Amino acid sequence: MDYARSSASRSAASTKIVVAGGFGVGKTTLVGSVSEIVPLRTEALVTNESEGVDNLDAVPSKHTTTVAMDFGRITLAEDLVLYLFGTPGQRRFWFMWDDLCLGAIGAIVLVDTARLDEAFSPLDYFEAKGLPFIVCVNEFEGGQRFAMHDVAAALALPPHVPIIPVDARNRESAKAALVRVTEYSLERLSQAVSAGAS
């Protein structure tokens, strides 16, 4: 058997990962830092029209916001390509999440420990959808650091949900998060298949 030809003819598997979280937690940054293509961004300027609608107090330096999605791609192995879809963080755009999650195998919920309250709605969303997710604590420069088990307790995460720190600006850190969510999603899928077969 010609293994080289067999390997070359094997098509790469592709899968979809959603990167979600509240407004200004670093979703666009994470997708952009890890994407091997120029990421597609649908950003608009934050204008005075946002006053009274969006809470900008915690992110005063943020001048743009995602209004539809961010899109990127990364090849994790020669036969595995991930397509990344970053969700809009502002609540008035959350109606798009259902469409962005179609066909996804897993999700990253990105959180900011300075605004943990904004993480509960995304967590509830993915729990209700039954979509496997991991929690990534974005370690902002100058931000206070907490032990992951303390953050997990504050978020009332089920014990099986992985929680890891990430620097959304760092490609290797973001890539490690994508590897982890892919592994976790495949573990959950395997468990579901085993449970169905028994």
Note whether 112 and 24 are within 8 A (CB): yes
Q: Determine if residue 26 is left, alpha or beta; phi over 0 gives left, psi from -120 to 50 gives alpha, anything else beta.
A: left
120 pLDDT more than 80: yes
Q: Residue 82's pLDDT band (boundaries 50, 70, 90)?
A: very high
All structural domains of the chain with their residue ranges: 12-191
12 or 43, greater pLDDT: 12
Q: Quick one: pLDDT at residue 97?
A: 85
Question: For residue 5, is pLDDT > 70?
Answer: no
Fold entry, domain 12-191? Rossmann fold (3.40.50)
> In this predicted model, which residue has the larger pLDDT, 194 or 15?
15
- pLDDT band at residue 55, thresholds of 50, 70 and 90? low
pLDDT bin (cut points 50, 70, 90) of residue 192 is confident
* Span of 30-34, 89-93, 136-140 with lowest mean pLDDT: 89-93
Amino acid, single-letter form, for residue 86: G
Flag whether pLDDT at 94 surpasses 70.
Answer: no
Helix (H, G, I), strand (E, B) or coil at 149: helix
